[in-house]
Amino acid sequence: MSWQLAAIFSQSVADFIYLHAFSIAVGLGGLALGIVAMAIGLRFWLGPATPAAKKQEAARRSLAERRYAEAEESYRKLFDSSLDGIYVTTPGGLLLNANPALARMMGYESPEELIEGVVDIAHTVYVDPDVRAEYQLRMARDGMVREFEYQVRQLDGTMLWLSDSATTIRDESGTVIRYEGTVRDITNQKRAEQALAESRRRLQQVIDTVPAVINVKDTKLRYVLMNRYMARIFNIEPEDAIGRTTSDLMSRYGAQKTDDNDRQVIETGKELGFYEEEYVDSAGAMRQWLVNKLPLRNSDGEIENIVTVALDIGERKRVEFEMRKAKDAAEAALRNLTETQNSLIEAEKLAALGRLVAGVAHEVNNPVGISLTVASSLERKVAAFAEQAARGELRRSSLNEFIEASRSAASQLVANLNRAAELIQSFKQVAADRSYSDQRTFDLADLTEQVVMSLRPGVRKQNLTLTVDCKPNLIMNSYPGPYGQVLTNLFLNAVAHAFPDGGGGEVQIKVQESGDDHVEVLFSDNGCGMSPEIRRRAFDPFFTTRRNEGGTGLGLHIVYSIVTSRLGGRIQLQSAPNEGTRVRMVLPRVAPPEVGSDRV
């Protein structure tokens, strides 16, 4: 009875294994076929107990054989159609089996070509043979590898990245007889990881070149990115700051800084904008910053990171402080200047008067000195003549000689004293006496024609052509006397300097309106022109190129003074060697009374 119970139990176990061999085959892969065979053998070893059982056993055997064939076909389809590569190798590196996916992955037409072409996996397939040794070490130690990554070389030499998951198969004695595993092509994934790593490296390089603090924190206020500029402030390498907080970094040198602004960004989800902040760096120096913080959100809209950008404004703060000091000093200097302004103006007037007196002394000195010399000589001759007459020794020849000397001395005295009088009259023009001319209303065209009429005798004498183009009805309320003096001085200056050889030339005067409130007077000649040095100094007082011919250097200076001061206008001079001279004057139709009345 016990034997029968044991037979029934054994038969039940065998039937269970026999009936479920297909499921076991699908779950265990290459080992399933052996298990199915073992189940069939066990079932036949136990044998049927009765004829009915034999008949039932025959039916079961047929079913088992059919399921075995179906399981083998399913396993083969699974093996052949898998997208991942499947392999069976010996521990020594001989490839025993491979599926089509692995063959395609390695660049072969079929698994058979792959098996024939790969003799030694370590040196034929692996790019680095040492990685194969690491694979074998793990298999021996752990009996498996999971997602073990390495590079392989395809048939054409192209390199791939593979992810390998495999197990060891041992015999009854426990000896490893083969490796069975699957590999997945992760080349694109590796390229993407490398591209991401390269992007992060370039991003780090870029932010490291920016002369400002840049960092990124997670929501726990730990750094996930920091540029080198900021790392130097904390005296740390950027990679060493990752995962640490500001408090961690600053506590290393005994400083601290609040994280309230970071927490405010997390709580409100809004950018803080620019604000000023200061804290002590690792060198113990107080640093001032202009800071901006803003949140970074993930695809779900949740805050994931906090970005901080800060500009060092310490230098700006120092400059602002220096500017405030300079501003205070400038305001104090301005107050002092305002207090002394009137006295400085008076001093300038005295200086101008001194220059005028010096010019007067220099110009009048020549004719007066000559007159003094002649008068002294005449005085000596008169004394000698008187002595001869007192002694009764006067002769006719002495009398004639005395008369001739007196006549010559008188002539020289008259000429030089007239020259001195002319100079003094010119100096009076520089002074521009207020009583020289009163302000009145006049037609500028009529006044210009009157002045030109007085100049025409000199024009004929100098063989010059004087043309006037004056727009009629230009009514002015100004000073006719100074205006006439301007035209006269310009004409005399042109005669003396523009046509030095007396070869003739042309002088033009053109008067026209300039806007509603001004007139434009153009005085030009086609003479020899001026060099740049002479043109630059043309309006300077007492500057002349004809001093040895009696020039005083006051003609154009008087013109400049009258135009800019008495008439309230502006004047421009254009000239070049051999290109003539052009004087442009713009005068207000109504002369400023305050300008005219201030002349003394």
pLDDT digits (tens, 9 = 90+) for 393-417: 778 887 888 888 888 888 888 877 8
C-alpha 164, offset from chain centre: 53
Report the 3 state secondary structure along 564-592.
HHHCCCEEEEEECCCCCEEEEEEEECECC
Phi then psi for residue 545, to 5 deg, are: -100, 0
- Residue 72 has a pLDDT of 66
What tokens appear for 155 in the block?
């048939």
| Mean pLDDT, rounded, for 119-136 | 91
- Catalogue the E-assigned strands of 380-486: 440-443, 464-470, 475-478
121-125, 217-221, 384-388: least confident range: 384-388
**CA–CA separation, 553 and 533 (whole Å):** 15
192-312 is a CATH 3.20.190.10 domain: no
Please give the residue that has the higher pLDDT: either 394 or 283: 283
pLDDT above 80: residue 199: yes
pLDDT digits (tens, 9 = 90+) for 490-511: 888 888 888 877 667 889 999 9
Same fold, 85-185 and 192-312: yes
434-597 is a CATH 3.40.50.300 domain: no
Please give the residue that has the higher pLDDT: either 224 or 541: 224
**CA–CA separation, 587 and 585 (whole Å):** 6
What are the extents of the domains in the chain?
A: 2-81, 85-185, 192-312, 326-428, 434-597
pLDDT above 80: residue 65: no
**CA–CA separation, 113 and 409 (whole Å):** 139
CB 109 within 8 A of CB 103: yes
pLDDT digits (tens, 9 = 90+) for 479-491: 888 888 888 888 8
Confidence of residue 358 (pLDDT cuts 50, 70, 90): low
| Mean pLDDT, rounded, for 80-93 | 89
The four Cα atoms 267, 269, 270, 274 give a dihedral, to 10 degrees, of 60
Please report, for residues 24, 97, 182, 315, the alpha-carbon distance to residue 176 in angstroms, rounded to integers and kept in the order given: 22, 17, 18, 73
pLDDT digits (tens, 9 = 90+) for 136-157: 999 999 999 999 999 999 999 9
- Catalogue the E-assigned strands of 388-517: 440-443, 464-470, 475-478, 505-514
| Mean pLDDT, rounded, for 436-442 | 76
pLDDT above 50: residue 345: no
pLDDT digits (tens, 9 = 90+) for 230-265: 999 889 999 999 999 999 999 999 988 889 999 999
- Residue 504 has a pLDDT of 77
- Residue 349 has a pLDDT of 42
pLDDT digits (tens, 9 = 90+) for 164-192: 999 999 999 989 999 999 999 999 999 99
16-20, 63-67, 304-308, 541-545: least confident range: 16-20
Q: Which residues have C-beta within 8 Å of that of residue 540, sequence separation ≥ 6? A: 553, 557
Confidence of residue 552 (pLDDT cuts 50, 70, 90): low
CB 289 within 8 A of CB 257: no
- One-character DSSP codes across 273-341: --EEEEEE-TTS-EEEEEEEEEEEE-TTS-EEEEEEEEEE-HHHHHHHHHHHHHHHHHHHHHHHHHHHH
Confidence of residue 429 (pLDDT cuts 50, 70, 90): very low
**CA–CA separation, 269 and 246 (whole Å):** 21
CA atoms within 13 A on the CB side of 499: 20
Confidence of residue 85 (pLDDT cuts 50, 70, 90): very high
Percent of the chain with pLDDT over 90: 36
| Mean pLDDT, rounded, for 31-46 | 49
Please give the residue that has the higher pLDDT: either 109 or 558: 109
pLDDT above 70: residue 600: no
Strands 464-470 and 505-514: parallel
Confidence of residue 292 (pLDDT cuts 50, 70, 90): very high
What tokens appear for 535 in the block?
């043109």
**Prediction pTM value:** 0.38
| Mean pLDDT, rounded, for 281-307 | 92
**CA–CA separation, 94 and 122 (whole Å):** 9
**CA–CA separation, 322 and 379 (whole Å):** 75
C-alpha 90, offset from chain centre: 67
**CA–CA separation, 566 and 553 (whole Å):** 20
**CA–CA separation, 388 and 380 (whole Å):** 13
- Residue 543 has a pLDDT of 76
85-185 is a CATH 3.30.450.20 domain: yes
- Residue 431 has a pLDDT of 47
**CA–CA separation, 175 and 511 (whole Å):** 122
CB 98 within 8 A of CB 85: yes
200-214, 291-305, 312-326, 584-598: least confident range: 584-598
pLDDT above 60: residue 343: no
| Mean pLDDT, rounded, for 224-232 | 91
pLDDT above 80: residue 111: yes
